């Protein structure tokens, strides 16, 4: 089974079960962002977690096997047209250099890991309009000289 077929089956089963990503992640004991990413084909799950997800969604062992396969993390290199994803590109375009400068001042020359990484997405109530709160937490990796 290809990752795209796996994702399609998961999405249909999730919809049929009327479960949110948050509820599904609680049942599987994984963070909602990571579980969603794995279900969309951008990360892999351990055998235990893949089987648990398939048990909850009543999916086949083929889906569990596909969830365990290493992902091929390719995406389109053009600017996306989906408004939410485009705005994230805009945030990086406008604030990317600022983030890099401040990280450099606080940590030195290096990068934030996207491998030793976690992310949470929360909703903050606000009278002026609810707020999206995205918290990214990545290990700092200094560049080395040789």
Q: Which residues are catalytic?
A: 87, 90, 113
Length of the chain: 146
Residue 112 in tokens? 């934030």
On the 0-12 / 13-18 / 19+ scale of CB atoms within 10 A, 90 is exposed
Nearest 5°: phi and psi at 132?
-95, 125
Asked whether 43 and 34 are in contact (CB, 8 A), the reply is yes
DSSP-based three-state secondary structure for 136: strand
Calculate the alpha carbon distances from 23 to 3, 123, 146 in Å.
23, 15, 48
């Amino acid at each position: 089974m290809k990752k795209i077929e796996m994702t399609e089956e998961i999405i249909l089963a999730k919809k049929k079960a009327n479960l949110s990503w948050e509820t599904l992640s609680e049942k599987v004991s994984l963070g909602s962002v990571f579980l969603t990413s794995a279900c969309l084909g951008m990360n892999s799950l351990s055998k235990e977690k893949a089987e648990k997800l398939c048990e909850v969604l009543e999916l086949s062992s083929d889906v569990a096997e596909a969830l365990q396969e290493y992902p091929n993390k390719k995406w389109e290199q053009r600017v996306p047209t989906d408004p939410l994803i485009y705005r994230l590109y805009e945030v990086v375009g406008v604030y990317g250099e600022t983030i890099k400068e401040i990280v450099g001042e606080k940590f030195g020359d290096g990068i934030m890991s996207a491998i030793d990484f976690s992310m949470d997405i929360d909703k903050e109530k606000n009278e002026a309009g609810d707020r999206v709160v995205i918290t990214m937490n990545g290990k700092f990796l200094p560049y080395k000289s040789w």
